[in-house]
A and B are shown apart, each in its own frame.
Chain A
Amino acid sequence: MAGQRSRLPFSPWHLVLIPAAIILLFPFAWLLVTSIETPAEALHFPPILTPHVIRLRNYPDALAAAPFGRFFLNSAIVAVTTVICNLVLCALAGYAFARFRFLGRGVLFVLIMTTLMVPFQVTMIPQFIITKWIGVHLLAAAGIGHIGALIVPNAATAFGVFFLRQFFRTLPIEYEEAARVDGASRLAVLWRIVLPLSAPALATLAALTFLDSWNSFLWPLIAINSTSAMTLPLGLATFQGAHSTEWTLLMAGNVMSLAPMMAIFLVAQRYFVRSVAATGLTGT
């Protein structure tokens, strides 16, 4: 069974996956239902899951409440750029950590990992000051108040380096060695041999990095000082007041914010299934 590709519609695995999917999607269902309710029905506890009145106008109302088109664009620019930068920089670094021996490799990797170990609440003030300095002395577009400030600190993450390092180490080294014997440069080996074999990992990293960037709230809150540079989570926060929250609009906004992430994932999925077998590695 493990090696078979089952096309039977009644595979027993569905009996496991359907309840699992219900549990996984339940909050999403609640989110959706709340987004099409009227405030009178949304402000219920326990929540009403079968509303009597449907209000689709929540969606255009949410969009009109703040310049969401702008927020969406900002979020998209930041997320896409962050993903591309991460894929490139983390692949380079991850590959070096996985395959090269160089002086200080171990120490550097440990240092990179340690940056994951201090919570943001503590590092955000120094990070703010550093970002401000960069904006003043190096590149204005990367300084406080610009969306570059949201990209540059996250252009390479310890997560990406760690993840790709682990993945690259699982690849059989023979291909890379064969290519080196053929005279390919290390960069060529990475670009032409390793990365194509790493499609699932790269797709995973892209999807996760996109998610992280798209949903990022606290750093953009700290770094952005004008409405025109706000990202989507900051925009959604405009529905949350000190004492009262416009739940229906907020949930509508959340659903619209989820859509691109789900779209990215649906696209990335096709790369998840590209198995090593497809590239002819099942040698004799």
Chain B
Amino acid sequence: MVTYRLRGVAAGLLAVPTAATLAVSVLAVSVLAVSVLAGCGSGSGGSGNGKSIQLWEGYTGAEAKAFSHLVAVYDKAHPGVTVSTLFVNNDNSLQKVLTAVRGGTAPDIAYLYGSWAPNVAQIPQVVNLTGVVSRPGVNWTDFWVGERDVATVNGKVIGIPALVDNLAVVYNKTLFAKAHLQPPGPNWTWPQFVADARALTNPAIKQFGTAYVTPGSEDTVWHWEALLWAAGGQILNASGTKAAFDSPAGLTSLNTLRAMAVTSHSMYLDPTDSAYANLFNSGKIGMLVTGPWDLSAFPAVHYGVQIMPAFPGTSGGHQTISGPDNWVIFNNGASKVKTAEDFLLWLTAPAQVKYFSLATGDLPTRRSVAQASGFQAQMNAALPGVSTFIANLANVRQARPQIPTYPQISQAIGTMVVAVLLNKAQPAAALAQAAAKVNQILAGSGSGG
């Protein structure tokens, strides 16, 4: 009985269209899809025309507008030349660039973080620009020393500076006033910073004196490196063969952080690198060590900017650290390289640098632009506080080690700093441990061989 009923049902279901219809509809869909696809989407930008180049950048908002304006101006002034741009998030651009390089479809120009430079320099297709930047009229030394250091790997120039920044202290004027504190002056010291942070901390209203990011990434590390340098220390020794931060300066810098994070709990620890800026904008943090890019994220706060404090009795001064980024050219043939070089030299010429800085609030990559009369006032009018950052560029005296193993060194240092901040290790022990790891890495026996 069941079988009979089943067969009846099955027969009923068999009345549905045949397999032939299935095949035909699949075929139709695929033909339709393919024809639509053939029409949509253009090729990979790399045509045979040597005067048409592709550039990958990660500009958003005001930067995107200013940049596309510059590109349009250039295209118009150079008929026959086309610069086509593609937006690629800066954070993801390394994956895309490396894949494209391996796959043989590298862009002509790419915007790459300076911290990648030592490794990017090893890619065979990266063009050596040493000769290009020493051409007359380029004025290579007009670029800040921090930028030039990051664009140069083993004496070879592999990029042209695209961006420069530095770390300074942004503070909440209202909170300082409420706590009856003197706002930071240009000669202030780290002990004063620590004291201010303690005075600004109020657990009852969940207010912190300052903040620090603790994922252990380079963001964690470079903030500390600024303190290390201010304390007169070095990351590596002169020949770059051993760690040199395991020193009194290293101890001083870590103890400073420890005083705030562990002793007085005046430091908000942000493990995700995402909350600290909004907290400052909500008036919950007194001072932040951050860069000019964050200024536009504080519309709700009456803020002031001051250069970094110094450690009394050291040679470090009010030193700060800079994180420049580079335009890198990839070799897709001699004529494309020439077009790319011409474009970059134009883009980074003083006139364009001035235009871009004024339009976006980004720091000027050239000293001549920064020191031109009226420029800093103009910048400050558009973005209050940025002139302090521009002046602070003079406090950038050195760059992080430009060696391929720096990322691994950074991870070891990051672990050290976070361990101290979370009170999982004492500064002296953490320094020793990190130094041993770094020495291991430098000796070539670190992970990954």
Residues of A at the B interface (CB closer than 8 Å) are 39-41, 43-47, 66, 74, 77, 81, 84-85, 88, 121, 124-125, 128-129, 132, 139-148, 151, 174-175, 178-179, 181-182, 184-185, 187-188, 191-193, 196, 218, 221-222, 224-230, 234, 237-246, 279-281, 283-284
* Minimal beta-carbon separation of A15 from chain B (angstroms): 34
B14, B86, B88: the one within 8 Å of A182 (CB): B14
Chain B: CB-nearest residue to A243 = B293
User: In the bound complex, do residue A187 and residue B95 qualify as a contact, i.e. CB atoms below 8 Å apart?
Assistant: no
What DSSP secondary structure best describes chain B's contact surface? Answer: helix
Chain B: CB-nearest residue to A41 = B300
A81, A222, A227: the one within 8 Å of B99 (CB): A222
Residues in A whose Cβ lies below 8 Å from that of B10: 175, 178-179, 182, 184, 193
User: In the bound complex, do residue B291 and residue A243 qualify as a contact, i.e. CB atoms below 8 Å apart?
Assistant: yes
Which residues of B (284-315) have their CB < 8 Å from a CB of A? Answer: 284, 291, 293-294, 296-300
User: In the bound complex, do residue B99 and residue A125 qualify as a contact, i.e. CB atoms below 8 Å apart?
Assistant: yes
Residues in B whose Cβ lies below 8 Å from that of A132: 103-105
CA distance A175 to B8 in the complex (A): 10
Chain A: CB-nearest residue to B29 = A84
- Per-position binary interface string of chain B over residues 101-125, scored 1 when its CB falls under 8 Å from any chain A CB and 0 otherwise: 0111100000001000000000000
User: In the bound complex, do residue B293 and residue A178 qualify as a contact, i.e. CB atoms below 8 Å apart?
Assistant: no
Residues in B whose Cβ lies below 8 Å from that of A139: 34
* Minimal beta-carbon separation of A45 from chain B (angstroms): 4
Q: Which of B53-61, B415-423, B431-439 contacts A (4 or more CB under 8 A)?
A: B53-61
User: In the bound complex, do residue A146 and residue B41 qualify as a contact, i.e. CB atoms below 8 Å apart?
Assistant: yes
Most B C-beta atoms less than 10 A away, residue of A145, A185, A225, A229: A225
Residues of B at the A interface (CB closer than 8 Å) are 1-3, 5-7, 9-11, 13-19, 22, 26, 29-30, 33-34, 36-38, 40-45, 54, 58-61, 63-64, 84-92, 95-96, 98-100, 102-105, 113, 275, 277-279, 281-282, 284, 291, 293-294, 296-300, 325
Residues in B whose Cβ lies below 8 Å from that of A218: 92, 95
Residues in A whose Cβ lies below 8 Å from that of B26: 88
Residues in A whose Cβ lies below 8 Å from that of B300: 40-41, 43-44
B96, B100, B279: the one within 8 Å of A45 (CB): B279
Residues in A whose Cβ lies below 8 Å from that of B22: 187, 191
* Minimal beta-carbon separation of B54 from chain A (angstroms): 7
User: In the bound complex, do residue B41 and residue A226 qualify as a contact, i.e. CB atoms below 8 Å apart?
Assistant: yes
CA distance A224 to B3 in the complex (A): 55
Chain B: CB-nearest residue to A191 = B22
Given contacts A44-B282, A81-B33, A196 and B13 within 8 Å (CB-CB): yes
Chain A: CB-nearest residue to B282 = A44
User: In the bound complex, do residue B11 and residue A182 qualify as a contact, i.e. CB atoms below 8 Å apart?
Assistant: yes
Residues in A whose Cβ lies below 8 Å from that of B37: 77, 141-142, 146-148, 151
User: In the bound complex, do residue A129 and residue B103 qualify as a contact, i.e. CB atoms below 8 Å apart?
Assistant: yes
Residues in A whose Cβ lies below 8 Å from that of B281: 43-45
B19, B91, B298: the one within 8 Å of A242 (CB): B91
CA distance A147 to B38 in the complex (A): 9
User: In the bound complex, do residue A242 and residue B58 qualify as a contact, i.e. CB atoms below 8 Å apart?
Assistant: yes
* Minimal beta-carbon separation of A77 from chain B (angstroms): 6
User: In the bound complex, do residue B14 and residue A184 qualify as a contact, i.e. CB atoms below 8 Å apart?
Assistant: yes
* Minimal beta-carbon separation of B420 from chain A (angstroms): 25
30 A-B residue contacts at CB 8 Å?
A43-B298, A43-B299, A44-B300, A45-B279, A45-B282, A45-B284, A74-B40, A125-B98, A125-B102, A128-B102, A132-B105, A141-B41, A142-B37, A144-B44, A145-B44, A146-B40, A174-B2, A175-B13, A178-B9, A179-B13, A188-B14, A191-B19, A221-B92, A226-B43, A240-B60, A242-B91, A242-B113, A246-B60, A281-B9, A283-B6
Most B C-beta atoms less than 10 A away, residue of A145, A174, A241, A246: A241
Residues in B whose Cβ lies below 8 Å from that of A147: 37, 40-41
CA distance A175 to B17 in the complex (A): 17
7 closest A-B pairs by beta carbon, nearest first, are A229-B41, A145-B44, A45-B278, A243-B293, A241-B60, A242-B90, A141-B37
